[in-house]
Amino acid sequence: MGGVRELLKIINESTYPIVMTANDPFEPKIKPLREISKMIEFKKLSVFDIEKKLKEILEKEKIKYDYEVVREIAQRNQGDLRGAINDLEIVCAGKSYVKREDLEVLGYRDREQTIFEALKIIFKTKSALAAKMAIANLDLEPDEIFYWIEENIANEYEKIEEVAKAYDALSKADIFRKRIMLRQYWRFLVYMNDLMTIGIALAKKEMYRKFTKYRPPSILKILAQTKSLREEEKEKYKKLAEKLLCSTKKVKSEFLPYLKILGFK
């Protein structure tokens, strides 16, 4: 509810129109927002509309195609034009003529956007926009997406220079990630997202036309296993901070080294 209260405050103070999107506008938690909003339903595009747009793209790019390619991509994406364009780009990469068998590079798209689908787009595409939009519908925190990408760079890319370039982009994303964490500079999130999607996608020269089994990040497993221990430590630091009249950050950086020498655990 804290997020809803903040949004209500922003809406009441803003002199500009504010556009919000929701998967379920009738969720009870967002009822206060719904009551002051004008609801507009965005319906899925028809297969015919998606086919028409895909043909237009192919003709502009001067790529010859079998009609079955366009029809199947349109049907697979169930009204999602962006997803259809992403699939078309993957199928057409490096080709002047696409046939039905070229669709094998695609897996069946789950409409509930998954991290596996997002990784496939980021690692396979050469389009900055497609890479950027790949994480738009993910129900994951930016940190989790970061760890998934980090875990799978070397799993996807084979050339040393491409791996190095990808990790370089990710290291820059990590700088913004840390500044967001430490200083709450959330405006930096856009730079973090661009570096860990566009930066990774453009690190390769050509798309690897292979199937890659993406692995979940090992660090998330470690964090889950140590969660209770970290929570206990956090409580200890909080109590010390209250006694010492300072922040928990200062406790860890300035007092803890000496407390450990004195036997504090």
Report pLDDT digits (tens) over 51-108.
Answer: 999 999 999 999 999 989 999 898 888 888 888 887 888 788 778 898 888 887 665 4
What does the DSSP 8-state code read for residue 140? Answer: S
CA gap 214, 209 in Å, rounded? 15
- Comparing 10 with 222, the larger pLDDT belongs to 10
The pLDDT value given to residue 2: 62
Instruction: Kindly indicate the confidence band of residue 112, based on its pLDDT and cuts at 50, 70 and 90.
Output: very low
The pLDDT value given to residue 140: 83
Query: Rounded mean pLDDT of 158-174?
Result: 96
Q: What is the pLDDT of residues 200-221, one digit of tens each?
A: 999 999 888 888 888 888 887 7
CA gap 233, 169 in Å, rounded? 33
For residue 35, count CB atoms less than 10 angstroms from its CB and return exposed for 0-12, middle for 13-18, buried for 19 or more: exposed
The pLDDT value given to residue 113: 57
The pLDDT value given to residue 109: 46
- What are the structural domain ranges in the chain? 2-35, 44-111, 135-216, 233-261
Q: What is the CATH number of domain 44-111?
A: 1.10.8.60
Mean pLDDT of the chain: 85
CA gap 224, 226 in Å, rounded? 6
Q: H-type helices in the chain, by residue range?
A: 2-13, 31-35, 47-60, 67-76, 81-92, 115-124, 128-133, 142-156, 160-183, 189-201, 218-225, 227-244, 248-250, 256-261
